[in-house]
Amino acid sequence: MRTFGVEEELLIVSADSGWPLPLAGVVIGAAARSGPGPSLTTEFKQEQIEVNTRPCATAEELRAEIVAGRSLADDAARTVGARIAASGTPPLMSTTPTEGDRRYSAMSRRFGIVAREQITCGFHVHVSIATREEGVGVLDRIRPWLPVLLALSANSPFWNGEDTGFASYRTQIWSRWPSAGPADPFGTAAGYEATISRLIRTGVLLDEGMVYFDARLCRHQPTVEVRIADICLLAEDAVVLAAAVRALVETAARDWRGDPVPAVRTDTLRLADWQASRFGLSGALLDPATGTPRQAAAVVGDFTDRLDAALDAAGDRPLVHAGIARILDRGPGERLQREAYGSGLASDVVAAIVEATHAPGRPQEKRHSKN
Checking if the pLDDT of 234 tops 70, the result is yes
Checking if the pLDDT of 296 tops 90, the result is yes
Q: Quick one: which of 43, 100, 49 has its CA closest to 74?
A: 49
Max CA pair span of the chain: 57
As a residue count, the chain comes to: 371
Displacement of CA 152 from its chain's centroid (Å): 10
Among 59-73, 213-227, 336-350, which is the least confidently predicted range?
A: 336-350
What spatial distance separates the first Cα and last Cα of the chain, rounded to whole Å?
A: 40
What pLDDT, in 10s, does the model give residues 356-367? 999 875 444 433
What pLDDT, in 10s, does the model give residues 102-156? 999 999 999 999 999 999 999 999 999 999 999 999 999 999 999 999 999 999 9
pLDDT of amino acid 289: 93
- C-alpha–C-alpha distance, residues 148 and 288, integer Å: 9
Domain 4-368 architecture: 2-Layer Sandwich (3.30)
Task: Give the DSSP per-residue string, 60-89.
Answer: HHHHHHHHHHHHHHHHHHHTTTEEEE--SS
pTM: 0.95
**pLDDT (average), residues 27-34:** 87
Q: Look over the chain and give the mean of its residue pLDDT values, rounded to a whole number.
A: 95
**pLDDT (average), residues 30-56:** 93
Domain coordinates in residue numbering, the chain: 4-368
Name the packing angle between helices 317-330 and 296-314 (round to 10°).
160
Task: Give the DSSP per-residue string, 34-63.
Answer: -SSS-EEE--SSTTEEEEEPPPBSSHHHHH
What pLDDT, in 10s, does the model give residues 259-274? 999 999 999 999 999 9
Q: What percent of the chain has pLDDT over 90?
A: 94
Q: Quick one: which of 68, 112, 107, 93 has its CA closest to 12?
A: 93
Question: Distances in Å between the alpha carbon of 270 and those of 18, 61, 154, 175, 228?
Answer: 33, 34, 16, 10, 12
Q: Quick one: which of 47, 52, 54 has its CA closest to 104?
A: 47
pLDDT of amino acid 72: 96
Q: What percent of the chain has pLDDT over 70?
A: 97
